[in-house]
Amino acid sequence: MAPLAILLTQDIFLRGYFGQTKVLGKSHLPSSGPLILAPVHRARWDSILLSYFTGRRATGRDCRFMVTHNEMKGIQGWFLNQLGCFPIDQDRPSITSLRLVIDLLADHEQLVMFPEGRISRVDHSIKLYTGIARLALMAQRVGIPVQIVPVGIGYSHPFPLPHDQAAICFGPPISLSSKGDNAVTEINANLIDSLHSAELAARLAVGRPYQKDLT
């Protein structure tokens, strides 16, 4: 169903809704290898915008989205499953889910995880779950050299309106050089700083800077 989904979401919905879409920092996006894309989550358009600039047409790779169990129910869940999405319990991830993630990364897939866990439309300091850092370190321990790319997204309005501008900014990949008990904390801190920078760049590109200092 991927070709049909791409036609509907990218050629019809995305191009028909937004007046202009911009991409920044595209050189930071690796063209190969195991990859975790870590975008901020600001609207339901995020997934479509991300797929447009990082999906099959743009990079030759599909985006494998990790979603919550609630999103995988009913017709929506069936549709998402057909497109390669898979569920995970953020609070208590199962061994099966974790193994699936490691297998996808071992196959050099492009995994998408929203580290904030939910949509946030209010300007505030970014708070993340630790899942991305833990999964990346887990993969690294079994010899999979994962890169984490922070992704900032900006829209002209908090609730994107027809003919708004949209922008996406890819930050430099996060290094996984940290080891030991503090590794997860250090990776998360680096990711938060990188996400703030990437989101600010995307917001400035659409003429909507932060309303307050979030550093």
Q: Helices 131-141 and 95-106 meet at what angle, rounded to 10?
A: 60
Q: Which residues in the chain come in under a pLDDT of 70?
A: 1, 72, 75-84, 90-91, 178, 213-215
Residue 211 domain-assigned (yes or no): no
CATH number at residue 89: 3.40.1130.10
Closest CA to 25 of 211, 197, 209: 197
Q: What pLDDT score was predicted for residue 96?
A: 78
Q: What pLDDT score was predicted for residue 148?
A: 96
With beta carbons less than 8 A apart as the criterion, state whether 176 and 170 touch.
no
Range of the domain at 160: 2-205
Residue 210 domain-assigned (yes or no): no
Compute how many other C-beta atoms are within 10 angstroms of the C-beta atom of residue 17: 16
Q: What pLDDT score was predicted for residue 102?
A: 93
3-class SS of residue 132: helix
Q: What pLDDT score was predicted for residue 21?
A: 96
- Neighbouring-strand partners of residue 192: none
Residue 91 domain-assigned (yes or no): yes
Q: What pLDDT score was predicted for residue 90?
A: 67
Task: Give the chain's domain count.
Answer: 1
Residue 213 domain-assigned (yes or no): no
Residue 212 domain-assigned (yes or no): no
Fill in the amino acid letter for 204. Answer: L
With beta carbons less than 8 A apart as the criterion, state whether 9 and 51 touch.
yes
3-class SS of residue 149: strand
How would you label 192-207 residue by residue, b for 16+ Cβ within 10 Å and e otherwise?
Answer: bebbbbbbbbbbbbbe
